[in-house]
Chain A
């Protein structure tokens, strides 16, 4: 459903992406793996419309998203949970969720979605009147996911949702990701935690220095000796 073709994004003269091509299929969890500085976040920001690519295309079911700008990309059904969560620290948890639904005008359905979110994340209901900045890292990550879900995305982009979290929280976050995916939301996930990615993804891409160097299923990746050594420590 989401296709990225030959995407080039540059910071000044330095090309962070040098022709990235990948596809996130309907209903699947697609994972983009790679070391620091490889261009994972740049890819996500380019898809979400925060960064403007210099060439290439991004399409959702054939419709181009390139150059729309972030605010309109959300309206098309593509929501990003950014790296480091980026919650609105002085706004209450509830206002953070309302902000997430900003691109929608359907008030009644929004209220119902809010209720569903609180059922999925009971801790957010408990803290709904608290400023988001006072939440723990894991709670902030859940809030960031919940906020993105409030936009009712068809595909959810997630940039390193496990970063800086305790293993038990990481497991919880991935359980939630799998659950969201089972309910029909496609997912494009950026991870450094290769083990987690292998467990949950249907399809994997490896990005190095702004280029895709591998694509395939977790099984195929597991058989690749070089990747085994560099990413799975075995």
Chain B
């Protein structure tokens, strides 16, 4: 009986940690979804650009011993800039109807970024600063890690800022208009290319925060992070429903929690197998995701 309670408590602890860390997956998922909404194309480079942004942040930390908050800010800005470059290289001048070319360009850029990072760092992981790593909050049987709580709070704040921009500003109005009815948006006087470029920058800003958060909660930054985060981001996007921000948030938390539960139950070697199975379950039984509507354009 006592064993059962210990198990239950540890499982709860896993779920809590997973939900908190899952907020970074939610951010990445939101980024994928934003760009998909604007272009109706996947940007496979997105997660790699986020990690690359975190690397730039790390440079500021290593060479100028900057405060972790500044490191996060620099990561975010750098990733936003990389987002703009990715837009210009992989989308802007590729014909709108050539989906495959854009997809391959972003896959190429993903590996390019990966290779650059490996080349510069000799593929060795580098320590990344965490905020409130020593703090923890005791809630009786379970406790909450300070660094994860910070990650969660930062993700919530970033998401809130994004929603504010999308629903309360001129830029957000343009972004939504372009993603829902491209031709009508142009007829309203909205510059589609500029709006799309801005969407990539905004998504990049979020991604940089997510990249830095991931590195901060893992404790290290490594090129080995890019592929798993790309895959998790895509799972979140599919499970949440392509184009749905609420879907990405819920799916991000779900994937984070599920990952930790499988980690607890089956160990680190099997964890991702079950997370991927989750993807297939959704693709088969709910291919449009939690919030996905059958895409209907007038």
Tell me, in angstroms, the Cα distance from A191 to B24 when the chains sit together. Answer: 53
Tally of A interface residues using CB under 8 Å: 30
- Given A74-B189, A86-B298, A87-B298, do A99 and B183 touch, yes or no (CB 8 Å)? no
* Contact call B180/A85, Cβ cutoff below 8 A: no
* Inter-chain pairs besides A90-B176, A102-B174, A102-B189, 5 sampled, C-beta below 8 Å: A50-B183, A70-B189, A87-B184, A91-B180, A151-B189
Closest residue on chain B to residue A140 by CB atoms: B298
Taking the closest CB of chain A, its distance from the CB of B20, in whole angstroms, is 31
Tell me, in angstroms, the Cα distance from A80 to B190 when the chains sit together. Answer: 14
Q: Write out the residue numbers on chain A whose beta carbons fall within 8 Å of the beta carbon of B177.
A: 88, 91, 99, 102
Q: Write out the residue numbers on chain B whose beta carbons fall within 8 Å of the beta carbon of A50.
A: 183, 186-187
Interface flag for A100 (CB, 8 Å): yes
**Ordered nearest first, which 5 A-B pairs have the shortest CB separation?**
A103-B189, A70-B186, A74-B189, A86-B184, A88-B180
CB contacts under 8 Å to B, within A33-58, are: 48-50
Which listed residue, B170, B181, B184, B189, touches A71 by the CB 8 Å rule?
Answer: B189
Q: Write out the residue numbers on chain B whose beta carbons fall within 8 Å of the beta carbon of A70.
A: 186-187, 189
* Contact call B298/A102, Cβ cutoff below 8 A: no
Interface flag for A79 (CB, 8 Å): yes
Interface flag for B284 (CB, 8 Å): no
Interface flag for A75 (CB, 8 Å): yes
From DSSP, what is the main secondary structure of chain B's interface residues? helix
Closest residue on chain A to residue B192 by CB atoms: A71
* Contact call A79/B173, Cβ cutoff below 8 A: no
* Contact call B176/A88, Cβ cutoff below 8 A: yes
Q: Write out the residue numbers on chain B whose beta carbons fall within 8 Å of the beta carbon of A74.
A: 187-189
Which of A50, A88, A133 is the most central at the interface, judged by chain B CB atoms within 10 Å of its CB? A88
Tell me, in angstroms, the Cα distance from A74 to B185 when the chains sit together. Answer: 11
Interface flag for A147 (CB, 8 Å): yes
* Contact call B190/A86, Cβ cutoff below 8 A: no
Partner-B contacts on A (CB < 8 A): 48-50, 69-72, 74-75, 79-80, 82, 84-91, 95, 98-100, 102-103, 133, 147-148, 151
* Contact call B191/A82, Cβ cutoff below 8 A: no
Q: List 17 A-B contacts (CB under 8 A).
A: A49-B186, A71-B186, A71-B189, A71-B190, A71-B191, A74-B188, A79-B187, A86-B181, A87-B181, A88-B184, A90-B176, A98-B173, A99-B185, A99-B188, A100-B188, A102-B189, A103-B189
Q: Write out the residue numbers on chain A whose beta carbons fall within 8 Å of the beta carbon of B181.
A: 86-89
Interface flag for B296 (CB, 8 Å): yes
CB contacts under 8 Å to A, within B157-198, are: 170, 173-174, 176-177, 180-181, 183-192
Taking the closest CB of chain A, its distance from the CB of B112, in whole angstroms, is 32
CB contacts under 8 Å to A, within B266-298, are: 296-298
* Contact call B173/A95, Cβ cutoff below 8 A: yes
Which of B183, B187, B188 is the most central at the interface, judged by chain A CB atoms within 10 Å of its CB? B187
- Given A87-B298, A91-B176, do A82 and B183 touch, yes or no (CB 8 Å)? yes
* Contact call A102/B188, Cβ cutoff below 8 A: yes
Q: Write out the residue numbers on chain A whose beta carbons fall within 8 Å of the beta carbon of B192.
A: 71
Q: Write out the residue numbers on chain A whose beta carbons fall within 8 Å of the beta carbon of B184.
A: 82, 86-88, 99, 147
Taking the closest CB of chain B, its distance from the CB of A176, in whole angstroms, is 19
Taking the closest CB of chain B, its distance from the CB of A97, in whole angstroms, is 10
Closest residue on chain A to residue B180 by CB atoms: A88
Closest residue on chain A to residue B174 by CB atoms: A102
* Contact call B173/A103, Cβ cutoff below 8 A: no
Q: Write out the residue numbers on chain B whose beta carbons fall within 8 Å of the beta carbon of A88.
A: 176-177, 180-181, 184-185
Taking the closest CB of chain B, its distance from the CB of A100, in whole angstroms, is 5
Q: Write out the residue numbers on chain A whose beta carbons fall within 8 Å of the beta carbon of B170.
A: 102
Tell me, in angstroms, the Cα distance from A86 to B297 when the chains sit together. Answer: 9
- Given A75-B189, A99-B173, A151-B188, do A89 and B296 touch, yes or no (CB 8 Å)? yes
Taking the closest CB of chain A, its distance from the CB of B246, in whole angstroms, is 13
Taking the closest CB of chain B, its distance from the CB of A110, in whole angstroms, is 12
Q: Write out the residue numbers on chain A whose beta carbons fall within 8 Å of the beta carbon of B188.
A: 74, 99-100, 102-103, 147, 151
Closest residue on chain B to residue A72 by CB atoms: B189
* Contact call A48/B187, Cβ cutoff below 8 A: yes
Q: Write out the residue numbers on chain A whose beta carbons fall within 8 Å of the beta carbon of B190.
A: 71, 99, 102
Taking the closest CB of chain B, its distance from the CB of A196, in whole angstroms, is 23
Q: Write out the residue numbers on chain B whose beta carbons fall within 8 Å of the beta carbon of A82.
A: 183-184, 187
Q: Write out the residue numbers on chain B whose beta carbons fall within 8 Å of the beta carbon of A133.
A: 296, 298
Taking the closest CB of chain A, its distance from the CB of B228, in whole angstroms, is 32
CB contacts under 8 Å to A, within B126-168, are: none
Q: Write out the residue numbers on chain A whose beta carbons fall within 8 Å of the beta carbon of B185.
A: 88, 99
Tell me, in angstroms, the Cα distance from A19 to B165 when the chains sit together. Answer: 45
Tell me, in angstroms, the Cα distance from A102 to B170 when the chains sit together. Answer: 8
Tell me, in angstroms, the Cα distance from A49 to B187 when the chains sit together. Answer: 8
Taking the closest CB of chain B, its distance from the CB of A118, in whole angstroms, is 19
